[in-house]
Amino acid sequence: MSSCRSTPSSSATWACAAASHPSGPRRWYIPGLLDDVLAGRINPGRVFDFETDLEHVVDGYRAMDERRAVKSLVRVAPAR
């Protein structure tokens, strides 16, 4: 039995839908996509519109906060 009550209010309907189907990020697909990006099968430039290195990651967050970027790509140098 559902805990959502039947009501004519659309906001209650959306609240019920949100409770039964969380709208959080869907991260199950990331490992496969990362493999494809690293192998060169997917161009991350079509997803990321800001690129930085690990030392300047704060710039990527700032660009997203200021709406200058949608997604930031952080390139990390291989360990020596």
Has residue 17 got a pLDDT over 50? Answer: no
pLDDT tens digits, one per residue of 30-80: 788 888 888 988 887 777 899 999 999 999 999 999 999 999 989 888 877
**Considering just the CA atoms, what is the radius of gyration of the chain in Å?**
19
Map residue 33 onto helix, strand or coil.
helix
Check residue 47 and report its DSSP letter.
T
Task: Give the Å distances, CA to CA, from 3 to 10, 17, 77.
Answer: 16, 11, 50
Note the pTM of the prediction, 2 decimals: 0.46
Q: What are the residue ranges spanned by the domains of the chain?
A: 26-75
**Which parts of 1-80 fold into alpha helices (H)?**
10-20, 30-38, 57-65
